[in-house]
């Protein structure tokens, strides 16, 4: 058999040598053609691999972009989801600013909230003896027109009161176009993006209070007497529990203005008028009594631009403790409900 494989094929190939298919292909390719097909094959594989990698990279980038743009609706609230609260007839929110002889702070506050896209109207609760000057009115109206970034300019209005009374901040307002009220002190600035996110949170639970300043009530015992203790920010931070959000920076439904003024026990109104304090605790108790649910604390940076207020007074904590216990006795029970939940805008948080 080996003899047949190695037989001379001089008469067939004319070169007088041993026949070999490999030798024949090499002779036909020439000296430089020997590597050409192999090189071409490698180049084709390399180019094909690069194309494959480019296509894979394109799909990965596209998928990442689509995922990032859709993750908010999948994982939580959709800020753009239409609801009855944010329908065109009720769109946005009304900013209700409580002020007292701090026109410089009021100017800053109105200018800022006029620039927020969700602001439909700005109402200033004015409880000074003298009405706001025409100069101040004109300045604020021009500022609203200048700062507003929407085609619909927020309506600015002063709600005038004949006496200085903290209950004034929760009087019913006629002709409101929104269900949402954002109650805020004249020295508190909430960035627009944070404020608009809080509004979307409120839209998911429009009957509760949604705000930025959490507080807590604690059951305490002293000399065999059980009573409630008002817990400030540090107790909330330490325990991670709260049952109130203060109306110095909070959303609530406009119907609570009516309930506060006309349905809440008059003895509580008298108490707030006499003590010049605790109207925010009274509102928290009112909403909790109506809903049986806790408020919602929204995580977000807020800025207090004022120098001081009643919270800076030495006996402030004692007065708040007394308010809380006196109000609970008037209700006949503790309506506040505590919670550990906090609303966080996951689009801007690495850890949440």
pLDDT score for 160: 95
The catalytic residue positions are 280
CA pair distance 163, 166, nearest whole angstrom: 10
Bridge partners (DSSP) listed for residue 225: 222
Structure tokens at 161: 């009161």
CA distances from 86 to 42, 203, 285 (A): 62, 8, 26
259: exposed, middle or buried (Cβ count in 10 Å: 0-12, 13-18, 19+): middle
- The pLDDT score that the predictor gives to residue 222 is 80
Q: What is the mean pLDDT of each run of 10 residues along the chain (352 residues)?
A: 37 42 42 45 52 59 49 31 39 94 96 96 96 96 93 93 95 95 97 97 97 94 84 92 97 98 94 95 97 96 78 75 94 95 90 65
CA atoms of 158 and 259, how far apart (whole Å): 22
Interacting residues of 257 by C-beta distance below 8 A, sequence separation 6+: 170, 171, 172, 173, 181
What torsion do the CA atoms of 140, 143, 149, 154 make, to the nearest 10 degrees? 20
CA distance 84 to 76: 19
CA distances, 68 to each of 5, 61, 76, 348 (Å)? 69, 11, 13, 12
Cβ atoms 159, 173 nearer than 8 A:
yes
Tokens of 190: 């909430």
Q: Which of 270, 273, 278, 271 is nearest to 319 (CA)?
A: 278
Domains of the chain: 93-343 (3.90.550.10)
Residue 293: phi and psi, rounded to 5, are -125, 155
DSSP states along 28-75: HH-SGGGSHHHHHHHHHHHHHHHHHHHHHHHHHHHHHHHHHHHHHHHH
What are the respective helix, strand and coil percentages of the chain, to the nearest 5?
Answer: 45, 20, 35
Identify whether the C-beta of residue 316 lies closer than 8 Å to the C-beta of residue 274: no
Helical ranges in the chain per DSSP H: 2-5, 10-13, 21-29, 36-75, 103-114, 134-147, 192-204, 233-239, 255-262, 266-275, 279-291, 316-331
The tokens for 12 are 């067939």
Q: Which helix (H) or strand (E) holds 185?
A: strand 180-185
Burial of 344 (0-12, 13-18, 19+ CB in 10 A): middle
94 beta partners: 121, 181
State residue 91's pLDDT score: 75
d(CA 222, CA 201): 39
d(CA 144, CA 155): 8
CA–CA distances in Å: residue 258 to residues 171, 247, 254, 294: 7, 16, 8, 20
């Amino acid at each position: 058999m080996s003899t047949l494989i190695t037989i001379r094929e001089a008469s067939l190939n004319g070169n007088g040598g041993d026949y070999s298919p490999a030798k024949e292909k090499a002779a036909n390719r020439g000296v430089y053609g020997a590597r050409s097909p192999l090189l071409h094959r490698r180049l084709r594989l390399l180019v094909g691999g690069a194309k494959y990698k480019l296509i894979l990279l394109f799909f990965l980038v596209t998928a990442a972009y689509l995922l990032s743009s859709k993750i908010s609706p999948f994982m939580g609230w959709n800020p753009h989801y239409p609801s009855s609260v944010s329908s065109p007839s009720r769109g946005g929110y009304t900013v209700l600013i409580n002020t007292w002889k701090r026109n410089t702070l009021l100017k800053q506050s109105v200018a800022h909230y006029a620039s927020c896209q969700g602001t439909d109207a700005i109402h200033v609760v004015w409880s000074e003896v003298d009405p706001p000057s025409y100069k101040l009115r004109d300045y604020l109206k021009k500022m609203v027109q200048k700062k507003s970034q929407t085609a619909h300019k927020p309506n600015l209005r002063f709600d005038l009161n004949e006496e200085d009374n903290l209950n004034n901040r929760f009087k019913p307002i006629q002709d409101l176009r929104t269900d949402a009220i954002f109650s805020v002190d004249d020295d508190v600035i909430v960035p627009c993006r944070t404020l608009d996110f809080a509004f979307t949170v409120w839209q998911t639970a429009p009957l509760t209070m949604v705000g930025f300043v959490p507080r807590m009530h604690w059951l305490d015992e002293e000399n065999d007497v059980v009573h409630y203790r008002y817990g400030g920010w540090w107790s909330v931070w330490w325990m991670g529990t709260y049952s109130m959000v203060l109306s110095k920076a909070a959303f609530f439904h406009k119907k609570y203005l009516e309930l506060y003024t006309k349905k809440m026990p008059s003895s509580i109104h008298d108490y707030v008028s006499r003590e010049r304090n605790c109207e925010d605790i009274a509102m928290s108790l009112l909403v909790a009594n109506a809903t049986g649910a806790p408020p919602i604390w929204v995580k977000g940076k807020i800025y207090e631009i004022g120098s001081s207020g009643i919270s800076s007074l030495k006996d402030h904590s004692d007065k708040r403790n007394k308010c809380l216990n006196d109000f609970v006795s008037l209700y006949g029970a503790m309506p506040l409900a505590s919670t550990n939940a906090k609303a966080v805008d996951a689009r801007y948080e690495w850890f949440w």
